[in-house]
Amino acid sequence: MLTFLGFAMIATFLVLIMLKKMSPIAALVLIPALFCVFAGKGAHLGDYVIDGVGKLAPTAAMLMFAIVYFGVMIDVGLFDPIVRGILRFCKADPMRVVVGTAVLAAIVSLDGDGSTTFMITVSAMYPLYKRLGLSLVVMTGVAATANGVMNTLPWGGPTARAATALKLDAADIFVPMIPALAVGLLCVFVLAYVLGLRERRRVGSLVMPAEAEAETEAEEASLVTVGSGGSADRTDTGAQADTKAPGSGSSASAPDPAPASGAAPGAGPASDAVPEGDGFQGLDPDRPTLRPRLYWFNAALTVALLTAMIMELLPIPVLFLLGAALALTVNFPHMPDQKARIAAHADNVLNVAGMVFAAAVFTGVLSGTGMVKHMADWLVGAVPEGMGPHMALVTGLLSLPLTYFMSNDGFYFGVLPVLAEAGAAHGVSSLEIARASLVGQALHMSSPLVPAVYVLVGMARVEFGDHTRFTVKWAALTSLVVLAAGMLFGII
C-alpha cells in the first residue's frame, strides 16, 4: 500500500508541475500532506514536516549565504575574465552560445556547488539567449546536465556519501570513474553542439554591426549580468539590439518552434526588446559595484573558501556565512551599500529558501511514512535472481529513477547498502556497486528534490515543468552513456 502511495504521490506531483496546474512550492507542500492523510498518518504530519525541515535547514542556510556570497563576487567582477573568454568564443552564433553554456557550467562546477554553478552560468549567458531569441530551456537543460556529470567530484557530495555508506575510500571510487565521466562530459558537449545547431537553424545568426565589432570587448563586458531582483530595466546598448525570434517570447519556449512566415532563410531574428520586469540588470564595464583593486583579495578569499569546503574544516553553511559577511564588509564597507547588495539578491534568496523548506514537507512525508523504504525494497526485490552477478549494471540503472525521486541521502544511505549486500552475495565488489551508483547524477540534478535546480529555473525565468520536460530525456541519455562507458572500460 505504501509503495503504491509513494509512486502515486511522486507521479501526481510531476504531472501537476509539468501541466502547470500548481506552482512547485504549493505542490511540494499540499500533495504530500494529502497523501499523508491517505496513508492514515495525518496525525503525524507535523512531526514528519518538522523532521524534514530540521534535516534541510543546513541546506537552506548554505544556499542563502552562497547566493549572497557569489552574488557579491559577480557584482564586484571576480568572474568577468572567465565570462568574457566564454562570450568571446560565443560571439553571436547560437551553436557557440549553447556550447559555451556547457563549457562554462562544467568549469564552474569544479567548486562542487550546484547553486553557485547555476548563478554564474545564468548570469553570464542569460542576456545572450535573450538577445538572440534562443530557448531558455536549452540553457537550463545543458547547464543542469553538465553540472550533474561534474557533481560526482569527491567534494560534490554523491561520491562522499557512497564512500561513507559502504565504508570505502572516496578516491578508490572516483579516480577509476574518471574515463567514464569524461565520456559523459563529452556527451554533454556533443548534445550542446546538436542543440546549438538546432537553435541556429531556428533563429539564424545575428550579424554584428561594424561599430559593435569595434567595441567588442566593451560589449562582452556589458553582457555580464546578475539577477538583481531590482526594478531597474535592462537597456539596449544601441549597437546590439535585443533580438528574439517570433514565437520565442516566453522564457520557457519550446526548443524548436517554427519560424514566422515570411522570414528569409538564414536571416537573423527580428529585433525586439527584452520585456520590462525581466529582473536582470545589464552591467557595464564601469558599473559602480566593480572592485578592481580588490580582485586578488576576492580571488584568494574564494579559493580559501573552496579549499576549506574540500578539506571540511567547518560545515559548509558556516563557511558561506563567514565568507558572505567578510565579502560584504571588505567590498562594501558602508552600511547603505551592504544593504543594497543584500536587497539586490534577496529575491533569489527568498525563492530558494522557500522552495527548500517546501521540499522538506515532501521528503519528510516520504521518509516519515515509510513510503521511500517500501519503494526501495520493492524495486530491489523486483530484480530477477538471474541478474545477481550483474548487480553493478542493475545499480547503475536503478540510480537513474531512484536518485531522481529520492534525495541523495535517502539513496546512498538507505538503498545503496542493500544493493551492495545483494551484489556481495553474487561476488560483485562494493567498489563496483559504489561506482555504478554515481551514473544517475546527471539526471539527479534536475530532480524536484534538488534545491539548486530552483536557483537555475528561477534566475532563468523558466517554468520548472518546462525544464523537466526538456531536460529529463537528455540527462537520462547522458547517464546511460556514462554507464555504458564504465562497463566498456571495465570500471563497473
pLDDT in tens, 403-436: 888 778 778 877 888 788 778 877 889 999 999 9
Across 124-160, b (16+ Cβ under 10 Å) vs e yields bbbbbbbbbbbbbbbbbbbbbbbbbbbbbbbbbbbbb
pLDDT of amino acid 285: 61
Q: What is the mean pLDDT of residues 112-129?
A: 84
488: number of Cβ within 10 Å? 12
Highest-confidence segment of 15-19, 50-54, 431-435: 431-435
171: number of Cβ within 10 Å? 11
Q: What is the mean pLDDT of residues 435-450?
A: 91
pLDDT of 257 higher than 80: no
Cα(37)–Cα(387) distance, integer angstroms: 37
Q: Which residues contact 6 (CB under 8 A, 6 or more apart)?
A: 366, 371, 372, 374, 375
Q: What is the mean pLDDT of residues 37-49?
A: 90
Average pLDDT of the chain?
79
Over the stretch 350-396, which tens digit does the pLDDT of each residue have? Answer: 877 887 788 888 888 888 898 877 877 787 777 777 787 888 999 99
80/143: higher pLDDT: 143
